[in-house]
Each structure stands twice: as C-alpha cells, then as structure tokens.
C-alpha cells in the first residue's frame, strides 16, 4: 500500500512539474468584466464559440467570435441561442465540425423546472447551424446536465447531478445502441467520488480525461490516463487554489489545456497550460493580430 501511495505521489509530482504554470489566453476583444469560459473551436481554427456568465457565474449565454485580419472579432450571440432569460452554456463543436453540442434550460413541450439539458444542432453546410434538438432520456434527466463531449467514436461524455451517483454530481458516458437509443453509465471511481464531480473533458482517442471536481473542497482540475479497463490518477493541475476552475478543453493532441478561472477585476478568463514538455505551441489556434499567448 505504501509503495502504491509513493508511486501515485511521484506520478502526480511529475505531472505537475511537466505542466508548469498557466498563462492567461483570452483575446482582448473577448475579455470583459463578465466570466468567459468553456471555449471550443471549429476544425479550421477560425471560429471560436464560448459561454459568458455574469461575475457570479450565472445567467449563461452562448457567444461566437471569428478570426479576421485584426485578430479575434467582437463576440456576438450564437445564431441558434435562445433569447434571455434562458441560460445556455458549455458549447462544443465536434472534431469533424458537423455538430455543436451545448446545454440549455430553454423551454420545450412538457418541460418542468429550470434544469439544464443537453441539446445538439447540425451544421447547415454554410457556416451556420440548423435548429437544435434536445437529446432524449436517459441522457437528459430531471436534473442538470453539463459539458457534453462527443468523441469521434460516438460516445457522449457529460456531467449530471441525477440520482444514483456516487455523490452529488457525477460524470457519465452515453453509448448509442443498435435500436437507436442510448445507454448511460456512471464512469465510476476514480473519476467520480463522494463529492461533486461536475464535468469531464476527454481526449479524442479517449485515453486522457480532465475532471472538474470539488474533491478537495473547491472545484479544481484533475487529470487521468486510461490504464487497461480503468483510469490512473495523474494529479491536480497547477492552477489557483483560492478560486475554482471550469470548462476544460484539451488540444487535439491532448498536450495543452484551456480552462477558465477568476482573474481579478476581469472576473473569469481563459487560461492555457502545457500538460507535457514540448507541447504544441500552435494551439489554441493562432489568429493574426491576436494578443493571446
């Protein structure tokens, strides 16, 4: 047992050393006194979607910015976004650019309560999105769902505070079945704990995971690597202890991570961190005129 503990601590220390310190990345035109979070990029790297909340991290809105000669442009509401007072968050453009996933408490026939559900919209082939549709049960529930992530293999990962988990919020995976329905499974320990495990970000090949969890008293980012049929902890990411982190996004190579945390008078901002030595510096996608790292 002591040997295993020592090994786990050594792995965590090595991961932290490799990661280094995060750098603020938010483009100047997108940085406000509100809270910017949960970024995602179109495959060509020239469109950025994200969510903006008030400084208290509520009243979420979906926004979009395009890359132009002067850098990232002013953020505008996503065309398919529901009007206020609806709250919408956690946008994610799939690797092939064919769909955008997000969560919303927009009304629909039979809706009860104000919880966030997972919605998806297909590309219209002209740079826009078709009308979004709500995912069926058992993906959605009577409780909140968060941060949907569809992998190229068709598996959908998300967080939820539905009943039956290991603690408060847990992270889940949904798999399409032969009849067209979905089967949802709790991802279990160590990704989930008796505390709140809100969000899970997966590498495209499903071999790495980043979980937003308050397992140490405040919501921070925890890394994991696939090991056989289970997951091996790699430790907590180097970020501020005194504020929470949220909205993680791995680079396509899973060697860098974007996430949001409070940043003084600017409220929440996007930060980038290397997860290993020699991480690809061309991600997040460069935009001419941008002042981001």
The SS3 call for residue 187 is coil
Tell me the mean pLDDT in the region 58-64: 95
Q: Please answer whether residues 190 and 216 qualify as being in contact, where contact means their C-beta atoms are separated by less than 8 angstroms.
A: no
Find the Cα–Cα–Cα–Cα dihedral 232, 233, 234, 238, rounded to 10°. 160
Residue 25 has pLDDT above 90, yes or no: yes
The region, left, alpha or beta by phi > 0 then psi within -120 to 50, assigned to residue 7 is alpha
- The confidence band for 291, taking pLDDT boundaries of 50, 70 and 90, is low
pLDDT tens digits for range 240-257? 999 999 999 999 999 999
| Domain segments of the chain as ranges | 2-274
Q: What is the mean pLDDT of the chain?
A: 92
What is the mean predicted confidence (pLDDT) over 282-288?
91
**pLDDT at residue 63, rounded to an integer:** 98
Q: What's the pLDDT at 265?
A: 87
* For residue 290, pLDDT beyond 70: no
Q: Report d(CA 66, CA 61) in Å as an integer.
A: 17
121 contacts: CB under 8 Å, gap ≥ 6: 80, 99, 100, 129, 130, 131, 132, 133
Query: 2-274 domain in CATH 2.40.40.20?
Result: no
Evaluate if residue 262 carries a pLDDT over 90.
yes
pLDDT tens-digit profile of 203-218?
999 999 999 999 999 9
- CA torsion angle for 77, 80, 86, 87 (degrees, to 10)? -70
Q: Is the pLDDT of residue 5 over 70?
A: no
Calpha distance 46→55 (Å, rounded) = 27
Could you report how far apart the first and last alpha carbons of the chain are, in Å? 43
What's this model's pTM, rounded to 2 decimal places?
A: 0.91
The pLDDT, as a whole number, for residue 293 is: 60
pLDDT score at 9: 33
pLDDT given at position 288: 78
Q: What is the mean pLDDT of residues 182-210?
A: 97
Query: What is the tens place of the pLDDT at every residue in 43-52?
Result: 999 999 999 9
Give 129-176 pLDDT, tens digit per residue.
999 999 999 999 999 999 999 999 999 999 999 999 998 999 999 999
Determine the Cα angle at 208 with ends 133 and 261, to 5°.
Answer: 70
Give the pLDDT confidence score for residue 157 in this predicted structure.
98
112 confidence band (pLDDT: 50, 70, 90): confident
Mean pLDDT of 221-238: 96
Give the burial string for 81-92 (b: 16+ CB within 10 Å, else e).
bbeeebbbbbbb
For 36-40, 90-94, 113-117, which range has the lowest pLDDT when averaged over its residues? 113-117
């Amino acid at each position: 047992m002591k040997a295993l503990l020592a090994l786990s601590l050594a792995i965590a220390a090595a991961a932290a050393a490799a990661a280094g310190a995060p750098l603020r990345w938010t483009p100047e035109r997108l940085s406000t006194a509100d809270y910017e979070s949960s970024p995602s990029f179109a495959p060509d790297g020239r469109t950025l979607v994200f969510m903006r909340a008030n400084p208290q991290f509520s009243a979420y809105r979906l926004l979009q910015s395009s890359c132009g000669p002067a850098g990232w442009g002013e953020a505008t509401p996503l065309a398919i976004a529901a009007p206020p007072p609806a709250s919408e968050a956690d946008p994610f453009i799939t690797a092939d650019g064919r769909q955008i996933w997000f969560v919303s408490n927009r009304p629909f026939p039979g809706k009860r309560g104000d919880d966030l559900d997972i919605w998806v919209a297909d590309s219209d082939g002209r740079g826009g999105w078709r009308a979004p549709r709500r995912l069926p049960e058992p993906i959605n529930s009577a409780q909140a769902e968060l941060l949907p992530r569809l992998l190229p293999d068709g598996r959908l990962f998300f967080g939820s505070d539905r009943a039956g988990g290991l603690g408060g919020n847990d992270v889940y995976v949904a798999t399409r079945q032969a009849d067209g329905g979905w089967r949802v499974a709790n991802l279990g320990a160590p990704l989930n704990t008796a505390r709140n495990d809100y969000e899970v970000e997966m590498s495209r090949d499903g071999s790495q995971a980043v979980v937003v969890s308050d397992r140490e008293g405040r919501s921070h980012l925890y890394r994991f690597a696939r090991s056989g049929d289970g997951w091996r902890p790699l430790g907590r990411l180097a970020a501020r202890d005194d504020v929470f982190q949220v909205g993680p996004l791995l680079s396509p190579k899973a060697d860098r991570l974007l996430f949001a945390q409070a940043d003084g008078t600017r409220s929440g901002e996007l930060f980038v961190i290397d997860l290993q030595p020699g991480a690809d510096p061309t991600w997040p996608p460069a935009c001419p005129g941008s002042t981001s790292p």
